[in-house]
């Protein structure tokens, strides 16, 4: 069929595939299929009507219905023994101008594809550069934000007070270095009789809100202490003052008073971890006193605990972020005792940070951490 070869390549390919699909079933069963071509014309008269290709199926083969096959080139069922394809008008061989136009279109599409690929590559490169720039800017903002918060935190935390006969040191580390404010706070000042008062607070939560809560507690405690209220009444009185203004406030509190001349020490506790006293000979004890914190049911300290700090004794006060970085708080307390014994002779400014470094070798969950240390000066250095 020379005329079939003259069809455009696409039409010819579609026709071949369609014939194969139609004849496949009959040939697979051993049947016979006969193809016939009729050039353009009606009743054999050239010049009118489309060209046709017909596939006849010899019995017992039955032609399939073309609509069920979804053929690449549509066909029609002719009677019950043939399938016919009506070829598009003008399906003769393409001339040179058509080929040139087709090749030009191919070249045009190829050039367009290359241009789009180049633009896509440039766009991807630009997007990547933008991501990098945004990450750098975000990091700069985060550092600037952290710096401002650290400066604010430093401004809110009182520096060590100078008390003859006592050395003081402090270490604080936030749970998140990019948000250095938190609920762990402290306050220390001297009363009119020269006694050193220390407040350690751990307010529920993290961030600025918990910082505000902790500051409210320390300010209320300072006011009550300077007014002369007994130490064992201050925690309950602080709860009475603050709860009407902040019903969600919850905080643990530890209050300590030390007479630098005699070493006499008094402690009140509201649900806070106990202080650790390490003696000059290396023995140590946790100063336990029961009580309930601010916002807890029946807040207040169950009386006070009294002890005496001798020369070279070290008192360590802290929040639970120091000892509960491990799964077992009791194990944390034993490790803290060992660390305090190990570092008790170091300069006071180094001791709280050294304790935190030893305790945080393994951290199961991050938390704000506060460590405060007081050491009574050796007898020879006492005024």
- Structure confidence by residue, pLDDT tens digits, 136-154: 888 887 777 667 666 666 6
**pLDDT value, residue 103:** 56
Q: Which two tokens stand for residue 150?
A: 């650290």
**pLDDT value, residue 89:** 59
Q: Decide if 272 contacts 293 (C-beta within 8 A).
A: yes
Q: Decide if 269 contacts 251 (C-beta within 8 A).
A: no
Q: What is the mean pLDDT of residues 199-216?
A: 88
**pLDDT value, residue 38:** 78
Q: Quote the CA–CA distance of 138 and 133 in Å, as a whole number.
A: 9
Task: Indicate the length of the chain as a whole number.
Answer: 383
On the question of pLDDT at 48 being above 70, the answer is no
Q: Quote the CA–CA distance of 224 and 234 in Å, as a whole number.
A: 7
Peptide bond connecting 60 to the previous residue in cis, omega within 30 degrees of 0: yes
Q: Which two tokens stand for residue 195?
A: 């006694």
**pLDDT value, residue 58:** 79
On the question of pLDDT at 375 being above 80, the answer is yes
Q: Quote the CA–CA distance of 33 and 280 in Å, as a whole number.
A: 111
**pLDDT value, residue 91:** 47
Range name among 47-61, 123-137, 224-238, 251-265 with the lowest pLDDT average = 47-61
The 10s digit of each residue's pLDDT in 55-78 is 888 777 778 888 777 787 888 888
**pLDDT value, residue 281:** 95
Q: Which two tokens stand for residue 360?
A: 């945080």
The 10s digit of each residue's pLDDT in 220-245 is 999 999 999 999 999 999 999 999 98
Mean pLDDT, the chain, as a whole number? 83
Q: Decide if 262 contacts 298 (C-beta within 8 A).
A: no
Q: Decide if 181 contacts 208 (C-beta within 8 A).
A: yes
Q: Please, which contacts does 284-291 make with residues 24 or more away whose CB atoms are closer than 8 Å?
A: 284/337, 284/340, 284/341, 286/333, 286/337, 291/235
Q: Quote the CA–CA distance of 360 and 344 in Å, as a whole number.
A: 18
Query: Taking the complete model, does pTM exceed 0.85, yes or no?
Result: no
The 10s digit of each residue's pLDDT in 101-110 is 655 665 676 7
**pLDDT value, residue 278:** 98
Q: Quote the CA–CA distance of 308 and 293 in Å, as a whole number.
A: 25
């Amino acid at each position: 069929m020379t005329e079939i070869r003259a069809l455009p390549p696409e039409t010819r390919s579609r026709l071949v595939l369609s014939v194969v699909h139609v004849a496949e079933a009959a040939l697979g069963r051993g049947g016979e299929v006969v193809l016939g071509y009729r050039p353009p014309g009606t009743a054999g008269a050239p010049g009118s009507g489309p060209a046709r290709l017909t596939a006849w199926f010899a019995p017992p083969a039955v032609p399939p219905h073309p609509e069920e096959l979804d053929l690449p080139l549509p066909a029609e069922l002719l009677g019950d023994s043939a399938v016919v394809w009506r070829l598009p008008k003008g399906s003769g061989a393409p001339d040179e101008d058509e080929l040139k136009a087709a090749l030009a279109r191919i070249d045009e599409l190829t050039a367009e594809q290359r241009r789009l690929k180049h633009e896509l590559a440039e766009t991807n490169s630009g997007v990547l550069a933008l991501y990098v720039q945004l990450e750098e800017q975000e990091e700069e903002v985060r550092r600037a934000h952290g710096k401002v918060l650290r400066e604010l935190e430093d401004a809110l935390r009182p520096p060590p007070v100078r008390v003859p006969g006592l050395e003081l040191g402090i270490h604080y580390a936030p749970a998140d270095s990019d948000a250095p404010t938190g609920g762990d706070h402290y306050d220390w000042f001297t009363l009119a009789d020269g006694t050193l008062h220390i407040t350690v607070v751990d307010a529920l939560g993290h961030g600025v809100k918990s910082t505000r809560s902790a500051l409210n507690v320390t300010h209320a405690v300072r006011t009550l202490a300077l007014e002369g209220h007994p130490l064992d009444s201050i925690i309950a009185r602080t709860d009475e003052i603050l709860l009407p203004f902040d019903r969600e406030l919850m905080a643990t509190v530890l209050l300590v008073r030390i007479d630098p001349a005699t070493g006499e020490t008094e402690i009140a506790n509201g649900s806070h971890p106990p202080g650790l006293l390490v003696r000059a000979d290396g023995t140590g004890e946790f100063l336990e006193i029961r009580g309930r914190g601010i916002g807890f049911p029946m807040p207040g300290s169950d009386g006070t605990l009294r002890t005496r700090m001798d020369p070279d004794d070290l008192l360590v006060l802290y929040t639970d972020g120091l000892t509960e970085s491990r799964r077992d708080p009791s194990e944390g307390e034993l490790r803290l005792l060992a660390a305090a014994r190990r570092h008790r002779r170091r300069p006071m400014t180094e001791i709280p940070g050294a304790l935190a470094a030893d305790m945080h070798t393994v951290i199961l969950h991050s938390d704000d951490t506060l460590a405060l240390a007081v050491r009574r000066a050796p007898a020879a250095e006492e005024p």
